[in-house]
Chains A and B, each alone.
Chain A
Amino acid sequence: MLGYIIRRILAAVPVMGCVAVFVFLLLRLTPGDPAAIIAGDSATPEQLERIRATLGLNEPIYVQFATWVGRLLHGDLGVSLISQIPVAQMIGQRLEPSLTLAISTILLSVVVAVPLGVLAAWKQGTWIDRVVMAFCVLGFSVPVFVVGYVLIQVFAIDLKWVPVQGFRSITRGFGPFFERAVLPTVALSFIYIALIARMTRASMLEVLGEDYVRTARAKGLGETKVLLRHALRNAAVPVVTVIGTGFTLLISGVVVTESVFNIPGIGRLTVDAVLARDFPVIQGMILLTSGLYVAVNLLIDLSYTLFDPRIRY
C-alpha cells in the first residue's frame, strides 16, 4: 500500500511538471510582448519596465523558468501585479467560500444522484428510468448560470425565501450561511447530479446482471439488501471514479456560480484577474486547481480498497 502511494505520487510529478511548463509557456508563447499584453494598451514605458522586472522578463527564458519553478517549490506563487499582495495569500483569503460551495455541492449531488441512479437501474425501462435519464440529459445541457438565474428569479425575487446573492461564513451562524449557500449549491449540483446518476445507473445495470445478484435474490434476500449490499457496493468504483474526473467540471462550475451569486471566492478572484490581466494570479489558480485535481484523483484511487477489498495495492 505504502509503496503504491509513493509510486502514485511519483507518477504525479511529471504531470504537474507538464502543467508547470504549460502555465509558464502560456504567457511566453503568446505573440507580442508579455509585458505589453499584461499592461494593456495605455501602459507607459515605466509601467512596462516595472512589469518586466517583476516577472523577470529581461532574463533568458531558461533562467526565467528555473527561477519561477524554484520559487514555486518554496510555495511562492508570485505577487499580484495589481494589488502587490502575494498570490498565495490572495488565494488563501478567498478559499473558504469556494471550498464550502464545492463540498456542499459534492455532498448534495451524491445524496441525490446515487439513489436516483440505483432507482433508474432497478426500474430499468419504466417511466421512472426515463424521467431520471431525461433529467440527466437536461442537467448536461442547461448552463449553470441559466439554472442559477432561474433559481434566483423564483426563490429570491418572486418568493423572497432567501437573499438574492452573497456569502456568509458558517462561523457566523448556520442560518445566514445556509440561506445564501442553498441556491448556488443547488444550481451547481444539477450537472454533477446528472453526471453521477448516469454513471450509477450504467454501473448498476452491469452489476445487476451478475450471477451473485441472482444468487442473492434466489436465497430470498430482500430487494433493498440486494440492491444496496450486493449490487451498489460492487457498482461503486466507477461512480467514485467519475466524481474524481468530474472535479475539473466542479472547479469550472464554481467559477461561474460565484459570478452569478456574487460569492467572493477563488472563482471570482480568477475572473477579476483575467479582466485585469493579473497574470501571476491566473497562473497560481491554474497550478492550484490542477494540483488539487491530481490529489483528489489520487485519494479516489486509494479509496477503491474501501469499496472493493479485492483491490489491493
Chain B
Amino acid sequence: MTDQALPAAARPRPAWFSLVASPISVIAAVCLGLIIIVSLLAPWLAPHDPVQLVPANRLKPASAAYLLGTDGYGRDVLSRILYGGRISLLIGVGSAIISIGFGLAIGLVAGFFRWLDAIVMRFMDALMAIPSILLAIAVVALSGASLSSVLIAITLPEIPRVVRLVRAVVLSAREEPYVEAAISVGSSLPKILWRHIMPNTFAPLIVQGTYICAAAILTEAILSFLGAGINPETPSWGNIMAEGRAYFQVKPSLIFWPGLVLSVAILSINLLGDAARDVLDPRMKRREGAR
C-alpha cells in the first residue's frame, strides 16, 4: 500500500479542483462537448440528407459542397458522421444507464444475501466467460438489426462487471458498524440497502459508467463493422466505416474520418473517466489496470 500513485498536491484541495485543473481533462471535456453538441444539432448543421442515395455523386472527393466527400451511394460523409454521432452516443449513454441499473439491483441483492450470492455469481461468471462480441453478435443475429436489440446485445455483457463491482462494495459495507446499527434498530431491509449501502456504490459506479459508455460506443462500431449492427440504412459511426470497407483501397477516408471522430470521442470519455476516478475514489487507482 502506498500513496505514491496520488499527486500529492491534489489532495488537500476540493475534489472538483483537480478535475478542472488538469488541462487534459479540460481538453477531453471540450472535445466531447463539441461532439455531443454537433451530434444533437445534426438536423440543423448537416449540409445534406444523410440517407438519401444520389448515385450520380458516388465516391466524390472532398469539395466545398461535400466537405468530407461522398460514400459509395453518393451520400454526404460529413452529414452521416454528424447524424451517426446521435446513434453512437445514444447507445453509449443508454447502455451505461441500463447496465448500471440492472447491475446495481442484482449486485445489491447478491451482496447482501449470502445464499443467493453463490447462484447469482456463478451465472455472472458464466456471462463473463463468453467473449462480449460473440455474445453481442449472437443476440443481434437472433433478434434482428434494430436499435433496441443492439442496445441489449451491448448491455448484456457489461452487467456482470457492474454486479461484481457493486457486490464487492456491498460485501465490505455490510460489515460496517453503521449497517450493523441500522439492523439492530430494526430498519427494514429495503431501507438498509437503499439508504445505508447503496450510496457507497455511487462513486465507483460513476467511474464505471464512463468506461461502459466508451466501451459501448466501441462495441457498436465493431458490431456494425462486422455486419451485425443496426440496420445499415441508419447512419452510425460503425455503419459508415462498415460501408467504407468495400471501397477501402479506393477511398480510405471513408473509414478514417468516422474512425477519427469515434476514437476522439472514446478517448475523451476514457480520460474524463480516469479524471473522475482520481477525484471520486483515489483507492481505485491501484486497480486501474483491472477494468
Binding site for B on A (CB under 8 A): 14-19, 22, 26-27, 30-31, 37, 124, 137-138, 140-146, 149-150, 152-153, 157, 164, 195-196, 198-203, 205-206, 208-209, 238-239, 241-242, 245, 248-249, 251-252, 255-256, 259, 270-271, 274-275, 277, 279, 282, 285-286, 289-290, 293-294
Contacts and interface: CB of A to CB of B under 8 A. Distances in A.
- A-B pairs, 4 with minimum CB distance: A199-B289, A18-B126, A209-B2, A252-B133
A153 B137 CA distance: 28
A66 to B, nearest CB: 19
A245 B262 CA distance: 25
Interface residues of B, number: 52
Contacts, number: 175
B255 A37 contact: no
Given A141-B266, A145-B225, A270 B134 contact: yes
Interface string B115-152: 00000001101111111111101111111000000000
B166 interface: no
Interface stretch (B50-58, B62-70, B267-275): B267-275
Majority secondary structure, B binding face:
helix
B226 A259 contact: yes
B221 interface: yes
A239 B288 CA distance: 12
Contacts of A153: 252
B4 interface: yes
B138 A274 contact: yes
A144 B290 CA distance: 20
B249 interface: yes
28 contacts: A15-B122, A16-B129, A17-B126, A19-B130, A22-B127, A26-B138, A26-B142, A137-B274, A142-B266, A143-B218, A145-B255, A146-B259, A202-B286, A208-B4, A238-B290, A249-B131, A251-B134, A252-B131, A252-B134, A256-B133, A259-B226, A271-B228, A282-B137, A282-B138, A290-B129, A293-B129, A293-B130, A294-B129
Contact of B126 (A16, A145, A200, A270): A16
Given A14-B122, A18-B122, A153-B252, 8 more contacts: A15-B122, A16-B126, A18-B127, A141-B270, A157-B252, A203-B289, A208-B4, A238-B289
B131 A198 contact: no
Contacts of A15: 122, 125-126, 129
A291 to B, nearest CB: 8
B104 interface: no
Contacts of B267: 137-138, 141-142
B256 interface: yes
B289 A256 contact: no
B133 A146 contact: no
A267 to B, nearest CB: 9
B141 A274 contact: yes
Contacts of B214: 140-141
A145 B285 CA distance: 29
B178 interface: no
Nearest to B137: A274
Contacts of A274: 137-138, 140-141, 226-228
Contacts of B127: 18, 22
A17 B122 CA distance: 9
Contacts of A144: 222
A142 B258 CA distance: 11
Contacts of B266: 140-143
A146 B289 contact: no
A193 B2 CA distance: 25
Nearest to A289: B131
A217 B139 CA distance: 55
A287 to B, nearest CB: 9
Nearest to B226: A271
A237 to B, nearest CB: 12
B5 interface: yes
A202 B287 contact: yes
B122 A256 contact: no
A270 to B, nearest CB: 6
Give the one of B131, B143, B228, B288 with max A CB within 10 A: B131
A22 B255 contact: no
B145 to A, nearest CB: 11
A259 B125 contact: no
B225 A259 contact: yes
Given A140-B270, A202-B285, A274-B137, A149 B122 contact: no
A255 B134 contact: yes
Contacts of B134: 251-252, 255, 270, 282, 285-286, 289
Give the one of A15, A143, A146, A294 with max B CB within 10 A: A143
B248 interface: yes
Contact of A22 (B126, B227, B289, B290): B126
A149 B138 contact: no
Contact of A199 (B2, B128, B249, B290): B290
Contacts of B106: none
Given A30-B142, A255-B134, A286-B135, A149 B226 contact: no
Contacts of B135: 286
A137 B137 contact: no
Give the one of A27, A30, A141, A196 with max B CB within 10 A: A141
Given A202-B289, A286-B134, A293-B129, A146 B262 contact: yes
